[in-house]
Amino acid sequence: MNAVTTWTLEQTSAADLISVRVPEAATSGDLSIVRVEIPSPELNCLLYAVVGAGFDWSERREWTPGQWLAFVSKPGVETWLVYERGTPAGYIELDPQPDGAVEITQFGLLPAFQGRGIGGYLLSFGTARAWDLAKRWEHREPTKRVWLHTCSKDSPHALGNYERRGFRVFDTKTEQAE
């Protein structure tokens, strides 16, 4: 048994977002971020497995194809992929919830792309998309809160990256896990 600490963080205003310096790869055209516009449960499942493999992501491991389809087809759910020179490098998932909240449900990079400034850039971009989500979805109320959680099993840089982007911790829990 190991102790696992989970931090829940939030922004309560679009003004809370602290953007990161744009990486040179983005200014040279080598880096791009694109919204997945056709819901693809297989793609999200693959991204979850590959990005989460090094961090023991397990919440969705047992999801059925039907559960994946239901999630990615939910109105307002968005997946954004970051590419470097045409190669998928990572992703961020946004899940709108009641009362103007948007959860960043998944965020991460493939191992070969970590530690190069791409994560901060993708997180800044994705958080901005959470704040303007209502502009892309009819009948969606404006975003009032963007939130997420991370834990001590995630990248050791995750919590700091979220805080540098303007997220504030509002809950911390430590539990024993296998």
Structure confidence by residue, pLDDT tens digits, 82-132: 999 999 999 999 999 999 999 999 999 999 998 888 999 999 999 999 999
Nearest-Å Rg of the Cα atoms of the chain is 16
Strand partners, 60: none
Domain boundaries, the chain: 2-177
- Tell the burial category of 138 from Cβ atoms under 10 Å away from its Cβ (0-12, 13-18, 19+): exposed
User: How many other β-carbons are positioned within 10 Å of the β-carbon of residue 103?
Assistant: 18
Which pTM does this prediction carry? 0.93
146: three-class secondary structure by DSSP: strand
Q: Evaluate whether the domain defined by 2-177 bears CATH number 3.40.50.300.
A: no
pLDDT of res. 126: 97
